[in-house]
Amino acid sequence: MKLDSAAPKVELSKYIYNETRYRMLEKINPERTKALLHASEADIAMRFAVYEQLAKVTTAKEPPKPAAPAPGA
């Protein structure tokens, strides 16, 4: 497996608060929004760590091909 993306460069909070729906959630219930944000950030970090580990695992090689028959056989 090959990891085709880099680690996140921008904090989730900076990314999501560019959208009105997330800013509204923060205004409605700041404590809950903060808890969900921290849980999401932890999930992102864990998922990326798993993807990095999977990318490092080598896959089983293909079984060797049978030898070609000897000439004249």
pLDDT of residue 6: 87
Tokens coding 49:
């760590």
Q: Quote the DSSP letter at residue 3.
A: -
pLDDT tens-digit series, residues 8-50: 888 999 999 999 999 999 999 999 999 999 999 999 999 999 9
Q: Within 10 A of 40 (CB to CB), how many other CB atoms are there?
A: 13
* Residue ranges per structural domain of the chain: 12-56
Residue position matching structure tokens 């695992």: 57
pLDDT of residue 3: 80
DSSP 6-24: PPP-S-HHHHHTTSHHHHH
